[in-house]
């Protein structure tokens, strides 16, 4: 039996060159962190052991080569990346192949790149090393990807362990062509804490949204976010990845971050969005009774979220009844809060035809491009 893809065309947006924006595409290295070596000072290449690649037999010995924290415990038996993507090297390591396989195939006008190997950077205990890796990555992506295709945009990477170093990196890179946001690797420190304020101030100064993506380090490393317990199976771990974004969203509101930084934009990436229905209902309800505890929260929590926070579609909800999608979209005001993302090249990649076919047409026009243009501004053009 042949499964027919839903027929979902790009929206008709008169006068708009950009009609489809993918807000979460993961680009990967060809040769791991050795790709960054040419963009590092000599002393950091030496300290991280990236001056010369060791023999292949050494790669499996713990501690011989430098690597970033990643998920080595909760393993998808078939791997985390699709095996049918274009290119001869690792998936999504060739900008030309990604353009053909993703952008051309689905008619994507802009793709925001978040380094697939970089999400775990926040769990690295060496602050200075993390900052050096982030700086080298920003040079690498500008040279290797942004030069290749005008449809690519990048989220500049920071190492948030040291907020002053992170703010310095934002100031260094923010105004360079092609960078539209800030990729913030996750920490165990909740998003409302004062630790983050230098980063928020720099982001607000340059009018760059923060993009916060799961790190694949949750409940594995001490400095990574914890999920309320230690899972046993990949199924548990992957399902519970929405827990840290919920905690961070509540923290942002309760600490009054959006009162202190009234122009800050915060994008929750690859963490779903339907969970926000219950979280915001509970937060609004409890705030009415407990507002004296947080007098700096001057408006209902949901008002702050709808104004400052954006969610990406992946992984998109698939209820048995399609009308439930419309109800959730209405409650969460998705006509302004939801951005399309494919999560290419992960195993649960969402193409815009199938994944978004249940979204109401009027909302879909916004999700495909207009909300992204409102969020990232002229840097997308």
Beta-strand pair 21-25/309-312: unpaired
Interatomic CA distance for residues 338 and 350, integer angstroms: 15
Give tens-digit pLDDT for 64-102.
778 899 998 998 887 888 877 767 788 899 999 999 999
Q: Is the peptide bond before 313 cis (omega within 30 degrees of 0)?
A: no
**306 alpha-carbon distance from chain centroid:** 18
Q: Is residue 8 part of a domain?
A: no
Tokens of 227: 């999920």
Q: Is residue 5 part of a domain?
A: no
pLDDT of 296 higher than 80: yes
Q: Is residue 340 part of a domain?
A: yes
Q: Is residue 2 part of a domain?
A: no
- In terms of residue numbers, what domain contains 104? 21-380
Phi, psi for residue 68 in degrees, rounded to 5: -85, 150
Q: Is residue 10 part of a domain?
A: no
Interatomic CA distance for residues 234 and 378, integer angstroms: 40
Give tens-digit pLDDT for 180-229.
999 999 999 999 999 999 999 999 999 999 999 999 999 999 999 999 88
Interatomic CA distance for residues 372 and 367, integer angstroms: 7
Query: Under a CB-based contact definition with an 8 Å cutoff, are residues 7 and 98 in contact?
Result: no
Give tens-digit pLDDT for 130-188.
999 999 999 999 999 999 999 999 999 999 999 999 999 999 999 999 999 999 999 99
Q: Supply the CATH number for residue 164's domain.
A: 3.20.20.140
- The total domain count for the chain is 1
User: Residues in the chain, how many?
Assistant: 381
HSE-up of 100 (CA within 13 Å, CB side)?
A: 7
Q: Is residue 30 part of a domain?
A: yes
Task: Work out the number of other CB atoms within 10 angstroms of the CB of residue 22.
Answer: 29
Q: Is residue 4 part of a domain?
A: no
Give tens-digit pLDDT for 313-331.
998 988 888 889 999 999 9
Q: Is residue 174 part of a domain?
A: yes
């Amino acid at each position: 039996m042949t499964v027919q893809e839903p027929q979902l065309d790009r929206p008709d947006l008169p006068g708009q060159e950009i009609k489809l924006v993918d807000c979460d595409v993961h680009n990967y290295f060809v040769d791991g962190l050795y790709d960054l070596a040419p963009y590092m000072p000599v002393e950091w290449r030496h300290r991280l052991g990236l001056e010369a690649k060791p023999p292949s037999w050494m790669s499996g010995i713990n501690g011989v080569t430098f690597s970033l924290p990643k998920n080595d415990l909760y393993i998808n038996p078939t791997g985390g990346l699709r095996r049918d993507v274009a290119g001869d090297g690792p998936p999504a390591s060739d900008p030309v192949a990604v353009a053909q396989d993703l952008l051309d195939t689905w008619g994507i006008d802009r793709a925001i790149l978040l380094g697939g190997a970089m999400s775990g950077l926040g769990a690295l205990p060496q602050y200075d090393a993390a900052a050096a890796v982030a700086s080298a990555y920003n040079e690498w992506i500008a040279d290797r990807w942004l030069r290749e295709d005008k449809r690519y945009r990048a989220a500049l990477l920071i190492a948030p362990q040291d907020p002053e170093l992170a703010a310095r990196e934002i100031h260094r890179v923010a105004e360079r062509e092609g960078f539209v946001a800030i990729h913030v690797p996750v920490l165990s420190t909740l998003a409302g804490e004062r630790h983050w304020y230098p980063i928020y101030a720099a982001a607000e100064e340059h009018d760059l949204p923060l993009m916060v993506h799961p790190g694949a380090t949750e409940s594995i490393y001490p400095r990574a976010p914890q999920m309320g317990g230690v899972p046993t199976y990949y199924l548990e771990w992957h399902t519970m990845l929405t827990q840290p974004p919920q905690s961070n969203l509540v923290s942002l509101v309760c600490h009054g971050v959006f009162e202190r930084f009234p122009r800050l934009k915060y994008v929750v990436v690859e963490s779903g969005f339907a969970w926000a229905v219950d979280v915001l209902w509970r937060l609004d309800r409890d705030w009415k009774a407990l507002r004296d505890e947080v007098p700096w929260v001057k408006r209902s929590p949901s008002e702050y979220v709808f104004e400052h926070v954006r969610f990406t579609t992946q992984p998109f909800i698939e209820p048995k009844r399609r009308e439930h999608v419309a109800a959730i979209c209405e409650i969460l005001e998705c006509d302004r809060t939801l951005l399309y993302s494919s999560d290419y090249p992960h195993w649960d990649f969402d193409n815009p035809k199938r994944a978004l076919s249940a979204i109401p047409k009027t909302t879909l026009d916004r999700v495909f491009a207009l909300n992204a243009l409102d969020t990232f501004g002229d840097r997308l053009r």
